Structure 1
Amino acid sequence: MRIAVIAGGVGGARFVRGLREAVRRASDIDPLAGAAIDVIVNTGDDWWLAGLRITPDFDSMLYTLSGQNDEQRGWGRVGESERVAGELQAWGVTPEWFTLGDLDLGTHIARTSWLRAGETPSQVAARLQQRWELGVRLHPATDQEVDTHVIIAGDRGAAAGSREIHFQEWWTRYRAALPAAGFVQHGVDRAVPSEGALDALLDADVILVAPSNPVVSIGTQLSIPGMLEAITAEPAPIVGVSPIIGGASVRGMAEACLAAIGVAVDAGAIARHYGLRRDAGLLDGWLVAEEDAALVDGLEADGFAARAVPLWMRDLDTAAALASEAVAFALGLSS
Structure 2
Amino acid sequence: MEQRQLGKTGPQVSALGLGCMGMSGMYGPSERGESIATIHAALDAGINLIDTGDFYGSGHNEALIGEALKGTKRDAAVVSVKFGALRDPAGGWAGYDARPAAIKNFLAYSLQRLGLDYIDIYRPARLDPNVPIEESIGGIADLVKAGYVRHIGLSEVGSDTIRRAAAVHPIADLQIEYSLLSRGIEDNILDTCRALGIGVTAYGVLSRGLISGHWMPAQNLAGSDFRAHSPRFQGENAERNLKLVDALRRIAQAKGVSVAQIAIAWVAAQGKDIVPLIGARRRERLTEALGALDVTLSADDLAAIEQAVPKGAAAGDRYAAAQMAHLDSEKRHG
TM-score w.r.t. length of structure 1:
0.33
TM-score w.r.t. length of structure 2:
0.33
